[in-house]
Amino acid sequence: MPLDRSTLIPALHNLATQLRIDCVRATSKAGSGHPTTCASAADLVAALFAAEMRFDPTRPRHARADRFVLSKGHAAPILYAAWAAVGLFPRDELLTLREFTSDLEGHPTPRLPFVDVATGSLGQGLCAAVGIALNARRIGSDYRTYVLLGDGETAEGSVWEAAEAAAFQKLDSICGITDVNRLGQSRPTMYQHDLDAYARKYRAFGWHTIEIDGHDMGAILDAFAEARQTTGGPTMILARTLKGKGISFVEDKNGWHGKAFKQGEEEERALKELEAQYVDAPADTIARLVAAIPRPEGPADEPAVARASLPAPEYKLGESVATREAYGTALARLGQADPRVVALDADVGNSTFSERFEKVLPERFFEIYIAEQVMVGAAMGLAARGAIPFPSTFACFLSRAYDFIRMAAISGVGVKFAGSHAGVSIGEDGPSQMALEDLAMMRAEPNMTVFYPSDAVSAERLVELAAYTDGPAYLRTSRPKTPVIYGPDERFAVGGSKVLRESASDTATVVAAGVTVFEALKAYDTLRAEGVFLRVIDAYSVQPIDAATLRAAGRQTGNRIITVEDHYAAGGLGDAVAEAVAPEGITVHRLAVREIPRSGKPDELLDHYGISARHIVEAVKAART
C-alpha cells in the first residue's frame, strides 16, 4: 500500500539523505569518484526508486519492470546506493566501490544485474532508452523507461538524435530527467541554471517538458505523475539542482567535480552535515517505502525462443549477387523465423537491402533516419532487453557511432552491426563513402565477432551465425555483385575459413576475404596457367580467425603467406592473419590500400591501390624468388 503524501515526503527526504551519505562514504573510501554529482541527483533518485518506478527489488532483470538508465554514469555511486537501499545487496558493500574485486565499478556496467547498458561516455543514455522503449512495444509491455541525464552532456549531438527519434516514434513511455546542477567538469555549463534554455530545445524536438526545483520532493512527485499522464510523446523533466547539495562547503561551488572527500576531517565534516539533515520519521520509514514499491505485472522472463534454423540459401553457383543484397534477403528470412530479430536503418535501406526486412516485417523495422549514433544506441537498448537487433548502414558511417560500438562491446550486448559498401570497390562515389578502417575499428574490440562474406551463400549463413553468436558481431558486405561460389549446404562457423584451392604443390598461400577472394581466384588461374599452384583461403571469419588452417597452410606452402584486403593496411585482415601465424614463425606479406583513395571505376581502383589479381601474382612471384 502506498504511503500517504505527508508520510511519503519526509520518508523520501530521509532516503535521499541516506543516498548522499552512502555516496560520500563510498567515494571517500575509494579515494576517487563523484560525490557532488551524486548529491545533486539524490532527491530525484530517491523519488524514482521509492515512489515512482514499478520493479521488483529482488529481480532487477524482470522483463516487464520499469527501467532506469543512468546516462550521467559518473554518478554511479548513487545508482549503487539506491539498489542497496531497496535491499538488493547490503549497504556495506558500497564501500567496495571501484575495487578490482567489486562489480561496483567507477561507471556502471552490465556486470551488475540492474544495469542494461554501460554508461560513462556521456550522451548515450537517452539513445539506449529509445531502444529499451521500442523493446517494450516489441514484447507488448507497458514498462516505462527513465533516464537521468546531466546538464553538461546535453551538448552531445547524440542526445538530440535520441530526442528526435523518441518523439518521432511517439515513445511516451520515456521519461527523461535532466539534473541541471549548473556545473560541468572544468567550468559552469553553457546555460547554467537557465532551465528554459533546455526546455525550449526539447519542446522544439517535440517533447513535453516540466521545469522543477530538483530538491523539492513534492514537485518531483508531481512531475513524475504528469509525465506518466502524458501521451503521444516523451517527457523531459528539467530539474534545477545544486551540485554537492547538502554539503555546505562544496554546494554549488566550481572546482569540486570528480573529487572525493578526503578520509578524516573532510569526509567527517560532510557526513556530519548530512546526518543532521535526517528529519523525524518512524525508524522503519525506508523499509516501508521499499515494501510499497509497486511490482511489475506479467512474467519475469520472456518466453524462450528456439534458435531459428533457416532453409538453405536459394542461389545457383556462379550467379552474380552482391553480398549486401544477400544480407537483406537473409535478414528478412531470419526475422520471419525469429520474433526477437529487429532491423534499424539510417535512411539507406535501399542500399543496404534492409528494405527487404521492412517489406515483410514493418513493425520490427525501425527507420531512424540519418542518425547513426541513436541507431546504434537504440540497438544497444534493444539487445540489452532481449531483442536481436541488426542496425545497418554504409560501413563507413558506422564510424559515426564508434563510441557507441565501443560501449556496446563494454556492455557485451548482442548488437549485430551490418556495414555495406566496404572498400574502394564501391568505385565512383569516392573516399567519403568507402569503409577502409571498419575492420580495424571492429577488430579492436576484443569481444567483437567479425564476418566478411565473399558471396551470397556465405552472406546469408553469416547473418544467421551472427544472430546466434553471443555478444556483438559485425558483418561487412560489399557493393559489387560477386559470383556465388558456395553450394546451398555449405557450412560456416565462427572462427572458420574455406580453403578454395589447394594442391600438394602449392607454392604460396593467399588469404583473402570479400571482393578480394575473386582477385585471388583470378591470380590462381593466371599462375596455374604458368604451372604455379596457389593455396587460396577465404577468411570469412576475420575475428576470431582460423589460426589452425592458416598455420597449416603456411607450413605447407613454404611459409609464404600473402594477404589481400579491400581495407587500409593497419588493423585489418593482414594484421589478423599475421598475429595468427606468428607463433609458427611465419610472416605475412600484406596487400592493402595504403593511401587515401579517390573516385574511379571499381576495377581501376582495386588495381591502382594494389589489391587486384595482378598484384597478387606479382607478390607470389616475388615471394618465390
List the interface residues with its own copies, window 16-45 (CB under 8 A): 30-33
296 prior amide bond cis, ω within 30: no
Residue closer to its own copies, measured from CB, 160 or 492? 160
Contacts of 285 (CB under 8 A, 6+ apart): 7, 10, 11, 14, 15
Residue closer to its own copies, measured from CB, 105 or 302? 105
Asked whether the CA dihedral 487, 547, 441, 388 is positive or negative, the reply is positive
What's the CA angle centered on 353, arms 352 and 359, to 5 degrees?
A: 140
- Of residues 449 through 488, those in contact with its own copies by CB under 8 A are none
Spatial separation of the C-alpha atoms in residues 154 and 238, rounded to whole Å:
12
Residue closer to its own copies, measured from CB, 386 or 600? 600
Does 372 participate in catalysis according to the annotation?
Answer: yes
The single residue among 273, 355, 490, 618 that binds its own copies, judged by CB under 8 A, is 355
Tell me the C-alpha to C-alpha distance, in Å, between residue 426 and each of 11, 145, 340, 429, 593.
63, 41, 32, 7, 14
The single residue among 152, 176, 214, 453 that binds its own copies, judged by CB under 8 A, is 152
Q: How far is the CB of 437 from its own copies (least distance, A)?
A: 4
Position 158 contacts its own copies (CB under 8 A): yes
Q: How far is the CB of 443 from its own copies (least distance, A)?
A: 4
Position 320 contacts its own copies (CB under 8 A): no
Spatial separation of the C-alpha atoms in residues 533 and 476, rounded to whole Å:
29
Number of residues that bind its own copies (CB under 8 A): 114
The single residue among 5, 58, 170, 185 that binds its own copies, judged by CB under 8 A, is 185
Spatial separation of the C-alpha atoms in residues 290 and 46, rounded to whole Å:
11
The region of 94-102, 262-270, 327-335, 462-470 touching its own copies under the rule CB under 8 A is: 94-102
Residue closer to its own copies, measured from CB, 540 or 568? 568
The single residue among 10, 77, 123, 335 that binds its own copies, judged by CB under 8 A, is 123
Q: How far is the CB of 246 from its own copies (least distance, A)?
A: 24
**Contact present, 381 and 387 (Cβ < 8 Å):** no
Position 201 contacts its own copies (CB under 8 A): yes
Position 159 contacts its own copies (CB under 8 A): yes
Position 350 contacts its own copies (CB under 8 A): yes
Q: How far is the CB of 618 from its own copies (least distance, A)?
A: 16
Residue 234: helix, strand or coil by DSSP?
Answer: coil
**Contact present, 501 and 536 (Cβ < 8 Å):** yes
- Of residues 595 through 624, those in contact with its own copies by CB under 8 A are 595-596, 598-601, 604-605, 608
Spatial separation of the C-alpha atoms in residues 562 and 123, rounded to whole Å:
43
Q: How far is the CB of 592 from its own copies (least distance, A)?
A: 9
Spatial separation of the C-alpha atoms in residues 376 and 567, rounded to whole Å:
23
Contacts of 267 (CB under 8 A, 6+ apart): 24, 25, 28, 261
Bridge partners of 564? 512, 591
Q: How far is the CB of 279 from its own copies (least distance, A)?
A: 34
The string of DSSP letters for 453-474 reads -SSHHHHHHHHHHHHTSSS-EE
- Of residues 530 through 589, those in contact with its own copies by CB under 8 A are 543, 568-572, 574-576, 578-579, 581-583, 585-589
The single residue among 20, 461, 476, 590 that binds its own copies, judged by CB under 8 A, is 590
Contacts of 74 (CB under 8 A, 6+ apart): 33, 34, 37, 106, 107, 120, 258
- Of residues 370 through 429, those in contact with its own copies by CB under 8 A are 370-374, 396-397, 399-400, 402-403, 406-407, 409-410, 412, 428-429
Bridge partners of 179? 150, 239
Q: How far is the CB of 497 from its own copies (least distance, A)?
A: 18
Q: How far is the CB of 241 from its own copies (least distance, A)?
A: 18
Position 78 contacts its own copies (CB under 8 A): no
Tell me which of 156, 211, 358, 372 is the catalytic residue.
Answer: 372
Position 359 contacts its own copies (CB under 8 A): no
Active site residues: 372
